[in-house]
């Protein structure tokens, strides 16, 4: 019996090993076709054009950075605000109503948010607010990704706020501090590790979010390098899904092999962020 259970537990290690093996092998094969120096396009208008064997890494990295930054601008105030409200201000009755609603948002399939970004955020919200040249752009996609990560930001922050011992709040009230001063000067600093962890995990999710970036980014797998959030753009994930693209492609050639390279990049970045977040979470646990 023990042996069966041990094999089950070891399956997860095998999965990790296979993921790393697959990505590294594919990335090496890609780099054999396209040398590292070819990853910065030196054309007049550089860009990510896999069918023409032009793989400009800055294009997709910039796209990812822009979209996840916009996502964080949306998710941090909404998520953290909701968390502080729920943990410090809401009555238990309000909490009982709002928490399940946030959980609905947490369970929202990303493809549905992608549809929302494509059909509402881009044409009605972003188009009216910023008058972009193209209806589909990175701002719309970024806002969509932000909506998706609000619940993560909210729930992890709320957990860390709730973990702050009540005695700290009482001590603050005891020396005559107001509720607002207690929240800002006592509770938030005490919960800062957890909030930082929430932030990092949210960034990691934003970088890895695929469907919204693919559907609402405004490009079909290729495009010029841009640093304007109001331009259409490609994220690493969007470039990846487009490389896999059609269902009847064989796995040959750089335009397809590039998906392993992008996957490895994504894997390394998100895993690094997750490990850092884990350190912060553990710090919260040690403290209280």
Within positions 222 to 241, which residues make up the interface with another protein, using CB under 8 A?
A: 237, 240-241
Could you tell me the smallest distance in angstroms from the CB atom of residue 244 to another protein? 5
Does 6 participate in binding another protein (rule CB under 8 A)? yes
Interacting residues with another protein between 186 and 205 (CB under 8 A): 201, 204-205
Instruction: Please identify, among the stretches 36-44, 50-58, 61-69, 172-180, the one whose residues bind another protein according to the rule CB under 8 A.
Output: 172-180
Among 41, 158, 209, 231, binds another protein (CB under 8 A): 209
Could you tell me the smallest distance in angstroms from the CB atom of residue 236 to another protein? 9
* Closer Cβ to another protein, 66 or 75, answer by number: 75
Could you tell me the smallest distance in angstroms from the CB atom of residue 2 to another protein? 5
Does 10 participate in binding another protein (rule CB under 8 A)? yes
Per-position x/- string for 251-270, each x denoting binding to another protein as judged by CB under 8 A, each - no binding: x-------xx--x--xx--x
Two tokens, residue 42: 């030196």
- Which residues, 6 or more positions from 281, have their beta carbon under 8 angstroms from its beta carbon? 193, 194, 197
Neighbours of 251 (CB within 10 A): 11
* Closer Cβ to another protein, 210 or 226, answer by number: 210
Could you tell me the smallest distance in angstroms from the CB atom of residue 44 to another protein? 30
Interacting residues with another protein between 16 and 45 (CB under 8 A): 16, 18-19, 22-23, 26
Size of the site for another protein (CB under 8 A): 84
Does 184 participate in binding another protein (rule CB under 8 A)? yes
Per-position x/- string for 126-165, each x denoting binding to another protein as judged by CB under 8 A, each - no binding: ---------------------x--x---x-----------
Per-position x/- string for 77-96, each x denoting binding to another protein as judged by CB under 8 A, each - no binding: xxxxxx-xxx--x-------
Query: Which residue bears the tokens 């693209």?
Result: 245
Kindly write down the DSSP assignment for every residue of the chain, as one continuous string.
Answer: -HHHHHHHHHHHHHHHHHHHHHHHHHHHHHHHHS-GGGGS--SSS-EEBGGGTB--HHHHHHHHHHHHHHHHHHHHHHHHHHHHIIIII--HHHHHHHHHHHHHHHT--HHHHHHHIIIIIIIIIIHHHH--SSSS-HHHHHHHHHHHHHHHHHHHHHHHHHTS-HHHHHHHHHTT--HHHIIIIIIHHHTHHHHHHHHHHHHHHHHH--HHHHHHS--SS-EE----TTS----HHHHHHHHH-STT--S-SHHHHHHHHHHHHHHHHHHHHHHHHHHHHHHHHHH-
Instruction: Please identify, among the stretches 33-41, 43-51, 59-67, 98-106, the one whose residues bind another protein according to the rule CB under 8 A.
Output: 98-106
């Amino acid at each position: 019996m023990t042996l069966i259970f041990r094999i089950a537990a070891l399956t997860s290690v095998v999965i990790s090993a296979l993921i790393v093996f697959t990505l590294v092998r594919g990335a090496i094969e890609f780099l054999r076709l396209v040398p590292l120096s070819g990853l910065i396009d030196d054309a007049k208008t550089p860009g990510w054009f896999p069918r023409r064997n032009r793989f400009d890494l800055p294009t997709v990295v910039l796209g990812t950075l822009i979209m996840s930054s916009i996502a964080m601008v949306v998710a941090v105030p909404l998520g953290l605000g909701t968390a502080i409200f729920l943990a410090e201000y809401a009555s238990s009755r309000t909490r009982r109503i709002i928490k399940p609603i946030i959980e609905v948002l947490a369970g929202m399939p990303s493809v549905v948010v992608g549809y929302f970004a494509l059909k509402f955020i881009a044409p009605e919200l972003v188009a009216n607010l910023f008058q972009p040249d193209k209806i589909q752009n990175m701002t719309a996609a970024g806002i969509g990704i932000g909506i998706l990560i609000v619940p993560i930001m909210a729930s992890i922050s709320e957990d860390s706020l709730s973990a702050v011992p009540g005695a700290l709040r009482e001590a603050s009230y005891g020396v005559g501090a107001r509720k607002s001063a207690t929240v800002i000067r006592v509770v938030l600093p005490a919960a800062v590790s957890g909030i930082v962890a929430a932030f990092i995990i949210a960034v990691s999710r934003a970088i890895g979010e695929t469907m919204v970036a693919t559907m609402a980014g405004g490009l079909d797998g290729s495009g010029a390098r841009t640093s304007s959030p109001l331009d259409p753009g490609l994220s690493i994930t969007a470039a990846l899904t487009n490389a896999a693209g059609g269902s009847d492609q064989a796995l040959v050639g750089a335009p397809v092999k590039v998906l392993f390279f992008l996957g490895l990049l994504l894997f390394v970045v998100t895993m690094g962020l997750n490990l850092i977040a884990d350190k912060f979470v553990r710090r919260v646990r040690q403290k209280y």
